[in-house]
Amino acid sequence: MTTPRPWRRHAGWLWLSLMSFTTLLILITYETRWVYPEIHAYFSQTGNLTGQQLATRSRDYLQEGLGVLLEAPDDEAAREQAAFRVDLAYSLFDIGLYRREYACTEPSLDSLDGLSRRLSAGDVLTPAELNRHLLGPIGCLTEIEMDQLDRRSEVTSAFVEDTRRHQGVVLGGSLVIFLMGLVFWWMHERQRRNAVRATRESLRWMGRALRDPLTGVGNRSALHEDVMAQTGQAMSLMLIDIDYFKQYNDTLGHPDGDRLLRRLALLIDESLAGQARLYRMGGDEFAALLPCHDGCGLARRCEEITERLREAAIAHPGHPENRCVTLSIGAACFIAGEAGFAAGYAAADRALYRVKEHGRNGWEASEGEDAQANRVDANQA
């Protein structure tokens, strides 16, 4: 089973947040692109011909026809024009909706039909006859207009109310979605920060795992990692052992032993002028890793450490052969890498072994074919 990657663990909140904001955007787009044009379409015909009621237009034509007939009742051309307008009025009056819902429509259309026939026949109509033919239809059309206006007002009011309610719902919905988006984003941000904190914590612990807590220098794992990080590079390794450290602890106590370890770590680091990385390999053993450019100069470095220690003259009451603390150092060069490191470590260890075999308090450095050594005579101390 594989564990999800950190970014995947908190990507869910991010997606939810992005989806919320996207939904909000879609909602706004929908409102803008579809709902508002619908409102526009509903009211946009106000003021033009198609925005007028058919009944209004029909009544206008009847009034025009009536005006023509009253002005020149005996003129044949006027009668033709009046008949034309009556036919137009008829066509706009003869609507299924009007027939179905207004009882006055049928008799009015019959009346207009009779008027049209008489005009076509060339009859000259008196004002009383015009009254009889047109008053009913005009009254009917007026009734239709008024009723349709009332209905339209009701529909408009309902539409406005619906729109207001719709806008309220959309506004509320938008607010909820927006808040959800913010909450999801906050959750995502919180998880991200937790993940960053956890990563930092892990790195800190990993760093601690590679450090010796007593002296602050690296440990064996750190040495291995550092060597592997320099694969292919020429390097040198010094293994430094404190002579008779057990006796030091037995004589002065472990707290003093710990202090000695810290002091020696500092001393070795200063002796190598900060050019080496220092590691604590075990109870009384240090290792120093150095780059090895143009010959390692290992002998000189071993000598520097020994000299500095001698100058420090750290008292060692439990030392069977000396009054001060002494070191045994084995050093070797190698090419960084798994095999090279193993070989270098073994060579340095052999050198250290030989130093110890010859009475400790000395060093041996192996650089390729050459091997140099210096062992301090116990009587010198």
Partner 1 sequence: MLAWQIFRRIAQMGLGVVGTMLMATVVAAGTDELVLRDEGQETRLSIAALRDQADERFTLYDPFEAADVAMRGLVFRDFLVEHFGEVPEALAFEAWDEYRVTLEGWDDPDWILVTHQNGEPLTLRDRGPLRLVERDYGDRDPENLRGFNDWIWMIRSIEAVP
Q: Give the residues lining the site for partner 1 (CB under 8 A).
A: 45, 49-50, 54, 57, 60-68, 70-71, 77, 80-81, 83-84, 87-88, 90-92, 94-97, 99-100, 131, 134-135, 138
Which CB, 55 or 265, lies closer to partner 1? 55
**At CB < 8 A and 24+ separation, what contacts does 209-212 make?**
212/279, 212/280
CB of 166 to partner 1, least distance (A): 19
Q: Length of the chain in residues, anyone?
A: 381
Mapped onto helix, strand or coil, the DSSP state of residue 320 is coil
β-sheet bridge partners, residue 315: 324
Per DSSP, the residues of 201-220 read HHHHHHHHHTB-TTTSSB-H
Gap between the Cα atoms of 90 and 61, Å rounded: 9
Q: How far is the CB of 32 from partner 1 (least distance, A)?
A: 23
Residue closer to partner 1, measured from CB, 2 or 50: 50
* Closer residue to partner 1 in complex, CB, 23/63: 63
Minimum distance between the CB of residue 14 and partner 1, rounded to whole angstroms?
Answer: 41
Which residues contact residue 136 at a Cβ distance below 8 angstroms, ignoring those fewer than 6 apart? 104, 107, 108, 111
Nearest to partner 1 of 22, 45 (CB atom): 45
- Are 334 and 344 a contacting pair, CB within 8 Å? yes
Q: Measured from the CB atom, is 2 or 48 closer to partner 1?
A: 48
Pairing of strands 285-291, 370-375: unpaired
Question: Minimum distance from CB of 15 to partner 1 (Å)?
Answer: 37
CA nearest to 286, candidates 241, 324, 327? 241
Residue placing its CB nearer to partner 1 in the complex, 57 or 316? 57
